[in-house]
Amino acid sequence: MDLKSLFNKGKKVVDERGGVDSLKEDAMELADIAKGKGSLTDKAKEAAAAVKEPGTNEPEPRERHPNRDATNERRADADRQESKERRHP
């Protein structure tokens, strides 16, 4: 796999999760769970539930993301670049 393609896929995943701020919230939430009290099994279950929903404070990533149009443009650019790379390796 080409590094640029991998980078573009990573950007798409970050954007789908609500952006960098949402990922930071998720990381802080997981760190709090790991540091908390309880068995390893309980922590794993709680972490799995937390990861299913992007971010912690708002229900929809689209509402939290400040510039949805820019995100959609980056996704489209990444898709176009990936298509070009497939056609012309």
For 23-89, the three-class secondary structure string (H helix, E strand, C coil) is HHHHHHHHHHHHHCCCCHHHHHHHHHHHHHCCCCCCCCHHHHCCCHHHHHHHHHHHHHHHHHHHHCC
Which residues have a Cβ under 8 Å from the Cβ of 83 and sit 6 or more positions away? none
Q: Show pLDDT as tens, one digit a residue, over the chain (89 residues).
A: 688 888 989 888 888 888 888 888 888 888 999 998 889 999 998 888 888 876 644 444 445 555 666 677 788 888 888 887 777 76
Q: How many residues does the chain have?
A: 89
- The full set of domain ranges for the chain reads 3-87
pTM, two decimals, is 0.51
